[in-house]
Amino acid sequence: MDQRRRDFIRTTALAGTGTSLLGSTAIHNMAGSSIPSTRSASKSVIIAGGGIGGLCCAYELMQLGHDVIVLEASGRHGGHVFTGRDGLADDLYVDYGAEHFTKPGYDKCWEYIEQFNLTALPYPRRVNVARRIDGKFYTEEMLADPSVLKKFGFNQREVKYLSENPWWDLGSLYYQPYLDKFTNEYQPFNVGYDDWDTIPMADILEKDGASSAALNFLGGKNTSALFTLWQAGILNLRGVPLSPPDVYRIKGGNQGLTNAFAKRLGTRLKLNCPISGIRHGQSGVTVSYREFGEEKEMSADYLANCIPLPVFRRIAVEPALTEDKQFVIDNLTYGTYARVVFQAASEFWLDDNLSINMQLDHPDIWSMWRVAEEVDTERVALMGTGPAGISPQRALAGFKEVYPGKSLTIEQALVKDWPNDSFAPTCERLAFPMGTLTKFWPQLMQPQGRIHFAGSYADNLGWGMEAATRSANRVAKEIDQA
């Protein structure tokens, strides 16, 4: 055993794991794993961050026979995957984060759901959606009516397409002719569109005859055509629609997946251990962290950073990362929003002959749908999205303002304000600014010496749990083969 692995084992034992990590065999026996020891090839790895990416990466490395420790800054694991029950009655629950997954599209997630014997339920939140546009609600049938579409200002070609295809799929009309050139979903370059990274997608749409209504619907004024088409090309290669209507969730909450990873990791997962510094070199990595207010250090062969980049920016790294990598860390942006939850005494929308799956054009509440349908109670839990900093009272007032019926029975309003969360404020990454794709890709996936990077941002398509687990598997493989 080399000196660095001795330091890792000694430091981890002193840090209070509740057991002495005496090599791979001891760790596997502690977690109940049947994988045989590969002690001669085993590496010690610190996983920074206990969100789904970090938990998955640690699990895969453990399965490969490596010594892992996960350092999570908060008092709970799971990061942005969070099933909430506090404040709700009758065993109702909501998924404040990692709200759903698709099939196809979330292939890696489905593998773990099956492996851990979790139950996936159909989630009809994208069925019979009522959309409020310019102050008026439209059903899916209305938005397929040529007379309605013409009033919106769509041209004849667009009217024909939308009368035969879902409202949300208009982009396919214009994107599809360009997608066959993308044959490798991890390679956006050298397919004939490199110059389009400096051209807004809206310009391509206009050139191809898109109406003003379609341009307003699809946007693209500030997004490069290359990035937009590459992202659509990835979905095309995976056989996934632009906005899949068939979505699923885990019975009891999507946190069941992160709980399953955590259970198998056992005491390798350490909570309330925020990292404050990282030192790395040719022979290994040392992290400084706090545990119950006590400053500690831990050394290992490798570090897998699975902390969201806005939080990672606050950690001192010595020596400094390369200029290219630092650009990604400093400039990557994420989408984020508040989750709004209402508890109601009944399915009030049925009395009004309405669908509760709603897209709303209100500044204080943007959408609404039902969750936890399988819970045996007359009460219901509803969830939606709203802007950062929204209060429960203001969100509820906004919903009352736009709800088109008269039978509201809402008795509770809650908000999870993710943008103000100290440890997991981010959701999925946003599009890269025009003209910068070569600065972000593939740099955001590349390691820096013995520091590797995983998370929902660190894959080609930033689709939440799927991107996190895909990148986690990539990092586990990189470290295993190093």
pLDDT digits (tens, 9 = 90+) for 54-99: 999 999 999 999 999 999 999 999 999 999 999 999 999 999 999 9
Q: Rounded distance, CA 120 to CA 308, Å? A: 27
Mean pLDDT, rounded, for 439-450: 97
369 DSSP β-pair partners:
383
* Cβ atoms < 10 Å from Cβ of 421: 19
What is the helix (H) or strand (E) element at residue 230, kind and residue range? helix 225-238
As a whole number, mean pLDDT of residues 264-293 equals 97
Q: CB-based contacts of 31: which residues, under 8 Å, 6+ apart?
A: 62, 264, 265, 266, 268
Mean pLDDT of the chain: 92
Mean pLDDT of all residues in 160-176: 98
- What letter would DSSP give residue 273? -
Q: State yes or no: cis peptide before 244, omega within 30 of 0.
A: no
- What pTM was estimated for this model as a whole? 0.91
CA dist 395 → 93, 342, 352, 360, 366 (Å) = 19, 9, 21, 12, 9
The answer to whether 285 and 302 are in contact (CB under 8 A) is yes
Any idea how long the chain is?
482
One-letter amino acid for residue 320 of the chain: A
pLDDT digits over 26-61, tens only?
A: 323 223 333 344 444 899 999 999 999 999 999 999
